[in-house]
Amino acid sequence: MIRDSIVFSDTKPIYVTQVLVKNGGPGVVLSDTFYENILYDVISNPVKSVQDVNLIFQNIRNNLILSGLYKNVDVKLDLDERASLLNHSLKLSTEQIGIESVVPISATLNMTPLYLTPYKNYVTFNTSNTQNSVSLNRDWINLFGTSDTGTIKLSADLNQTKSEIDKKSIDAKFTMPLLRNSSIRTILESKCSIAKPRNDTMKQFELNIGLTKLKLIGGIKSLPIFYSGLNIQRKQTTLGPLSDEESETEIIGNISDEVINSLSLKSEYITDSRFYTSKFPSGGHLFKLVHQHVLNETNSISNEIKKNISNINMSFEKHISTLNDQITSSFIFDGHVGVPLQSTFANLNSGEFWDNEKEIFKTLCQNDIKVSHKVGLVSSFRVPNIPITSPIRFQLSVLGINKSKRMAEYLKNYSADTGVSLVYKGDHSQMKLSYQIPLIHGNDNKHSGLSFDVAVTYC
């Protein structure tokens, strides 16, 4: 919000004599370099019209809010009474050359900071009826005084059957805003993992480099986020010795010393307007759309080169609460479509295609296009005789999943189940106890049964 105690026409020239920065309380402090870049338009040319000054300080306010360090920024413009001598000399100078006199003003930035911890270290233990894992995490914010953020995560998964670690991974992410525009951030993200399914060894490396754009839009509660960048992946699979119970025909898709390299263009759009009651979403929506276009993918075994593969992922959540947040109904959807453009549409211009277009198009869709999705309804209820702010909820769910690799297998791979759950979400721990009943088996062999998932975090 910009407040001013001066009343002039929009074209009146004014001179910004000083900019005062006031923090409303303890918080993360930005560097002088950051302020110099944010205030560059004022410092480089302090004489502007009233209209230009208002636009510039509105942009400065938005940049400070988008830094993620401040809850509110209030800009106040006042006549600079201490600059009376300057005002007199400016008036004499402008009168001599016959132009309108310049008015000196001072600007004050009153900022209300968020109470953030510069560094955060924590350990998370997770256990379920199928997996045990542990992760070490370190997060930081504003390390260089530029509202930069970073995180490092080390994790390991324990095989319950063999009592040994079957997956290790390290993830790192760093973001930093552009010098004069906090709404645009550079992102550097890397992921490395080593997994051992059965006796094989699978190594994977992924690197994302790109820019993300945040945008303040008045009148809505969500903050749209745009991302665009490069994605580089390398996957290496080494086939291990077979156990006595296994045969070569039982291992599908694992080829000794297979290396797959890929280069993709990745873009994302996210908008999130969800609001919560005690860690549970009670309203709003989440929409996420990811498009990954594979420019080049090579395979060391087959020497095959794939190009122009388009992968689209979409996630959507909608939450509606009734009876004063005692009942929350949620719709959840997560889908994926993969289309190899080069092979699917290679024959579009051939005469043979137009002669048998329906049959060819049907064959292409069934064999080339990959589709998978998850869709469900979840109802959360307040547990009787417990306050609405309690971290415990009772849930009923119906969930349908399709993990087909091709359109031709769509119906064969469809499965669905329903269940009841008791869910706890606290500040440092989460627990979910569920009983699931399969409705449609598809190609899996799920049975009715009890499952649990517990996560505990130590800071």
Question: Could you report the per-residue pLDDT of 167-182, keeping only the tens digit for each?
Answer: 999 999 999 998 888 8
| Band of residue 252 on the pLDDT scale cut at 50, 70, 90 | very low
- Cβ neighbourhood burial of 38 (10 Å; 0-12, 13-18, 19+): buried
User: Does the structure show a pLDDT above 80 at 82?
Assistant: no
Mean pLDDT of 143-147: 90
The average pLDDT across 368-375 equals: 82
Cα 453 to chain centroid, rounded: 24
Cα dist from 201 to 54, 210, 398, whole Å = 60, 30, 36
Question: How would you classify residue 323: left for phi > 0, otherwise alpha for psi between -120 and 50, otherwise beta?
Answer: left
Distance, CA of 382 to CA of 376 (rounded, Å): 20
Give the tens place of pLDDT for each residue, 301-313.
766 677 778 899 9
- DSSP per-residue letters across 211-228: EEEE---TT-S---EEEE
Question: Averaged over 213-217, what is the pLDDT?
Answer: 78
Task: Answer whether 0.85 is exceeded by the pTM.
Answer: no
Instruction: Say yes or no to pLDDT of 410 above 60.
Output: yes
On the question of pLDDT at 230 being above 90, the answer is: yes
53 or 360: which leads in pLDDT: 53
Query: Collapsing DSSP states into helix, strand and coil, what is residue 304?
Result: coil
Q: Are 372 and 404 in contact (CB under 8 A)?
A: yes
Encode pLDDT of 374-409 as tens digits.
999 999 999 888 888 899 999 999 999 887 666 666
Query: For the chain, how long is the longest CA-to-CA vector?
Result: 101
CA distance 68 to 432: 32
pLDDT tier, 250 (very low <50, low <70, confident <90, very high otherwise): very low
Whether 245 shows a pLDDT value over 70: the answer reads no
List the structure tokens of 412: 């064969």
Query: What pLDDT does residue 148 have?
Result: 93
pLDDT at residue number 407? 64
CA–CA separation, 452 vs 204, rounded Å?
29
Give the C-alpha separation, 298 to 68, whole Å: 40
Tell me what percent of the chain is helix, strand and coil, each rounded to the nearest 5.
15, 55, 30
Distance CA 137, CA 139 (A): 7
Mean pLDDT value of segment 276-298? 92
Q: Is the pLDDT of residue 358 over 90?
A: no
Q: In the predicted model, is pLDDT for residue 363 greater than 60?
A: no
Evaluate if residue 85 carries a pLDDT over 70.
no
Q: Where are the domains of the chain?
A: 2-113, 117-272, 329-459
pLDDT band, residue 88 (cuts 50/70/90): low
Q: Is 184 exposed, middle or buried (0-12, 13-18, 19+ CB in 10 A)?
A: middle
Question: What beta strand segments (E) does 114-163 contain?
Answer: 119-128, 132-141, 149-159
Which has the minimum average pLDDT: 162-176, 263-277, 347-361, 443-457?
A: 347-361
Categorize the per-residue pLDDT at 189 as very low, low, confident or very high, splitting at 50, 70 and 90. very high
| Residue 50 pLDDT | 83
Do residues 260 and 298 make contact, with C-beta atoms less than 8 angstroms apart?
A: yes
DSSP string over 14-54: EEEEEEEEEESSS-PPPPHHHHHHHTHHHHH--EEEHHHHH
For residues 445 and 77, give the distance between their C-alpha atoms in angstroms, rounded to a whole number: 69
Model confidence at 248, pLDDT cuts 50, 70, 90, reads: very low
Per-residue pLDDT reduced to its tens digit, 89-138: 555 555 554 455 678 888 899 988 888 888 899 999 999 887 899 999 99
